[in-house]
Amino acid sequence: MTRTVLPPSENTPAGAARRPRAGQDPQDEPAAPAHLIGPDGERRPVPPEICSLVQEMLTALADGRAVTVTVHGAELTTQQAADLLGVSRPTMVRLLDDGVIPSTRPNKHRRVRLADVEAYRTRRRDLRSEGPDAVVRMSEELDPYDEGPEPIRR
């Protein structure tokens, strides 16, 4: 299973739990379901999505499967974005040229936001899951099995 976890924003409870506001006592942070305790004894809250990800990784390792963790920047090259989507770089460039995935060109090379690549992957997955349901609905609407056989003409 391939899954990408984006960093929490300041507006989400997980993002708010990570960084105390200016003038706020770190002890006043909202409670998190889990904490990471460093070698120096410092406790840091762990967002729920990270706990879930660590549990998945531990399960995979216990089952004898390999786990790969890759850190990405907020902006990706076209090759990095293509690798995340499992498509070729020319296909990725076509998606960018067609405006399917937004990109910027701060210099000669394109840059793609990781969040935009993830949004495209989610849209693509949702469309694929709708496909079989649409075929079943059309089949039920047409209902060719209830009409009886066509007469044979010779």
- What global pTM score does this model have? 0.50
**Per-residue pLDDT tens for 107-138?**
889 999 998 998 999 888 888 877 777 777 77
**Can you name the residues that pair with 34 across neighbouring β-strands?**
46
- Domains in the chain, start-ordered, CATH in brackets? 29-69 (no CATH), 75-139 (1.10.1660)
**Per-residue pLDDT tens for 17-54?**
444 444 545 455 554 468 889 999 999 888 888 888 88
